[in-house]
Structure formats: structure tokens, C-alpha cells
């Protein structure tokens, strides 16, 4: 599942073609078919089938999602994974999808190693819809003041909402939701229940908190690929990131604060380099703070909104100093009369070339470059 404009997809294409051509007959005899989906041209297909970034290679059996290819997207690694499928087929591994499992390893995740929990919470590779309709600011103040705009008041009552198949779409249509997928008979779910209520209170004004009974809403849990109970996922209009750290209150609140944090205001190249040292990819949006043009304000608004809903706000760096912008982006910027958006990754500068006010184009670019 790919995007034609994604550089990683283009880099992978020759290896994918070589591998699929070479193994086509052998895999066909084993009942395996290769396919590919252009995601921008088939958005609903990709959104419904566990596509967290481009490219993604998923395995389906009889229309049921099984897993994402766990091999590197290189010729030999993909070939080895694909040939291994024959052994798994012969072992009848895919006769029926595995049922959700309970985390019943005689310990709660709260007992997990703190280092691993911290690493999971700070994971910069979290994968994470169409943002709210554009609303241009009408005041004649510098665009930099947008940083001080009041945030929406999510979860105003500090409560946990019971979500069902009937109310899920309407309740989660906008805003972030931290959701517990559980089964009433699950011991670890019962243990988490009082802490989850406290989380609802602690997250007041920050994030909506909900819970889904998978015994009563199995199709909904299947849609979100719930493999065990309890499963905790942060959702925002179709995008999701799974929480896998310790389930104590402080860690869960810290996770919410981390992934929903504001963009960084960068005033020096040293500050930007610090952000680069902490993350595999950082985004730079360079613009003039004195530019009060409606288009510039709208561009900043849409860039921030799309980064936020992809859970990438903490990796978005706002630069209004021309000297810093020039040092960061080199030949990609000459002045700040026109805003520039770019990703810094793998020692490269990947400039965004689409419309800065197009939600679809921005969403696809953030999706591909994260």
C-alpha cells in the first residue's frame, strides 16, 4: 500500500517488483497473490486496512488482516519473509484468525521494566484525519500570536465515556480520544478500571477518554485490530497510536501530554539541532512572524492542524528567524516572504511542494515523511 509521491515507496519499488516477479509462480501455487494499492487514489481502502505510513505491506487471509510484514523492505528480507509464508501455510497457521488474548502472564504491565516503559512512551516512531475546516484569523496581529490561541476544551467534565457501535462514529468525529478496549471478565481490565476513571479526571480539558466493551462491540474492536485486553489506543479522526507503556496514572497522563504537545518555537540553530538529536525526523515550518497575510495565517493553521492530528506536533518546529531558517534549510529558502515546510531526515532536506492550505496534500506528505 503506497503513494506515488512517496520517496520511500519509489526507493522500494524495484526490490518489490524484482521479488514479486521472481516468486510469482511459486507463491501462486501456494495460494498467495501479490497486489498493490495506490492509497491517494483509494483512500478508504487504505484507511480501513491498517495503513500507518507509506509504504506498508500487509498480509490478508480471506479478507482478514493478519499482520504487517515484519521484514525490512529490501529485496532479500522481503523474499525471506514471503517464502516463510509457505511454511506457515503448510502448518495451517492461517486456518482461522487468532482470537484476542488476555495479558495473563501473571503480571500487570505496571510491573514491566521502567526503562522499556519510558522508551515506549517517548517513542518517536508512533504512527498516526482530515482536519477541521479552515478558519482564517481575522485580526490584524502577527501570525506568531497564533501560538497563544486557546485550545479546544476536550473532555470538559473529566469523565470516561462508554463507546459503542451505535455512538462511536458520532462521538469520535472530532478531537483526540484515549480509548480502553476491554472485556468485562479480563482480570487486568478489572485492575485497570479505577485508574482509568482517574485518568478521565486527570485528562479533563486535554483529551477525551473512552472505553469499549469488546464482548458487546466485537466488530469495532476488530476494526482497530485489538489483539489483547486491555488495549489502549489514542485516536484522532482515523489516525491511531497504541499505548504500550506502564499503565499507571502518571505514565498515561505523560503519554497524552507527550503526543499531543504543541509545536516548538525555534530561535536558534542549536535548539533545532537538539530536536534533531532526539528524533529520526523533524519538520521545519519557516515563515515571517510579521507577515499578517491571510494566506500565511491559513498556511500556519493548516500545517499545525495536520501535524497535530498525525501526532507529530512535538516534531514540528516553527522558525521565524531568517538566519536560522537559512542555516537549517540551505538553498531551499532565500527569504521568508513565502512560507516553507520541510522535513529533515536521514541527513536530507525534503521540501513540501504541495499547497500549504490543502489538508489532503499536507496529510499525505506528513504520512509519507514521518
Provide the CATH number for the domain around residue 353: 3.40.30.10
Which band of pLDDT confidence, cut at 50, 70 and 90, is reported for residue 150? low
Cell of 366: 506528513
Q: Does 98 reside within a domain?
A: no
Confidence at residue 81, expressed as pLDDT on a 0 to 100 scale: 87
My answer on whether 75 and 131 are in the same domain is no
Q: pTM value?
A: 0.52
Q: What percent of the chain has pLDDT over 70?
A: 83
Domain region containing 33: 7-90
Q: Could you read off the pLDDT of 216-240 as tens digits, one per residue? A: 999 999 888 888 889 999 998 777 8
Confidence at residue 16, expressed as pLDDT on a 0 to 100 scale: 94
Closest CA to 342 of 284, 281, 260: 284
My answer on whether 184 and 79 are in the same domain is no
Q: Does 228 reside within a domain?
A: yes
Beta strand 231-236 with 176-182: parallel, antiparallel or unpaired? antiparallel
Q: Does 224 reside within a domain?
A: yes
Annotate 298-314 with b (16+ C-beta within 10 A) or e (fewer). bbbbbbbbbbbbbbbbb
Domain count, the chain: 3
My answer on whether 313 and 189 are in the same domain is no
In whole angstroms, give the CA distance from residue 43 to residue 155: 30
Residue 278: pLDDT above 80?
yes
Cell of 313: 506536533
Amino acid at each position: 500500500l503506497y503513494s506515488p509521491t512517496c520517496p520511500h515507496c519509489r526507493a522500494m519499488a524495484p526490490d518489490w517488483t524484482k521479488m514479486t516477479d521472481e516468486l510469482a509462480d511459486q507463491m501462486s501455487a501456494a495460494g498467495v497473490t501479490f497486489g498493490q494499492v495506490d492509497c491517494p487514489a483509494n483512500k478508504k481502502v487504505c484507511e480501513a486496512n491498517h495503513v500507518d505510513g507509506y509504504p506498508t505491506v500487509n498480509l490478508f487471509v480471506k479478507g482478514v488482516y493478519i499482520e504487517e510484514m515484519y521484514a525490512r523492505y529490501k529485496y532479500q528480507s522481503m523474499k525471506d519473509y514471503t517464502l516463510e509464508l509457505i511454511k506457515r501455510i503448510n502448518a495451517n497457521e492461517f486456518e482461522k484468525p487468532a482470537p484476542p488474548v488476555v495479558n495473563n502472564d501473571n503480571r500487570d504491565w505496571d510491573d514491566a521494566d521502567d526503562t522499556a516503559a519510558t522508551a515506549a512512551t517517548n517513542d518517536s516512531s508512533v504512527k498516526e484525519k482530515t482536519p477541521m475546516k479552515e478558519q482564517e484569523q481575522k485580526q490584524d496581529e502577527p501570525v506568531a500570536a497564533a501560538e497563544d490561541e486557546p485550545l479546544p476544551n476536550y473532555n470538559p467534565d473529566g469523565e470516561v465515556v462508554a463507546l459503542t457501535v451505535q455512538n462511536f462514529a458520532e462521538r469520535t468525529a472530532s478531537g483526540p480520544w484515549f480509548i480502553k478496549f476491554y472485556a468485562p471478565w479480563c482480570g487486568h481490565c478489572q485492575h485497570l478500571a479505577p485508574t482509568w476513571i482517574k485518568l478521565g479526571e486527570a485528562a479533563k480539558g486535554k483529551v477525551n477518554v473512552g472505553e469499549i466493551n469488546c464482548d458487546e462491540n466485537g466488530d469495532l474492536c476488530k476494526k482497530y485490530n485489538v489483539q489483547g485486553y486491555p488495549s489502549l489506543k489514542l485516536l484522532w479522526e482515523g489516525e491511531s497510536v497504541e499505548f504500550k507503556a506502564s499503565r499507571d496514572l502518571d505514565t498515561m497522563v505523560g503519554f497524552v501530554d507527550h503526543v499531543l504537545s504543541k509545536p516548538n518555537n525555534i530561535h536558534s540553530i542549536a535548539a533545532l539541532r537538539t530536536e534533531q538529536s532526539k528524533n529520526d525526523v523533524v519538520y521545519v515550518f519557516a515563515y515571517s512572524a510579521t507577515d499578517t497575510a491571510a494566506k500565511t495565517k491559513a498556511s500556519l493553521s493548516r500545517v499545525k492542524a495536520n501535524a497535530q492530528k498525525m501526532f507529530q506536533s512535538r516534531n514540528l518546529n516553527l522558525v521565524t528567524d531568517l538566519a536560522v531558517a537559512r542555516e537549517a534549510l540551505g538553498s531551499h529558502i532565500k527569504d521568508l516572504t513565502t512560507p516553507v515546510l520541510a522535513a529533515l531526515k536521514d541527513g536530507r532536506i525534503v521540501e513540501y511542494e504541495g499547497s500549504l492550505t490543502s489538508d489532503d496534500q499536507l496529510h499525505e506528505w506528513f504520512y509519507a515523511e514521518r
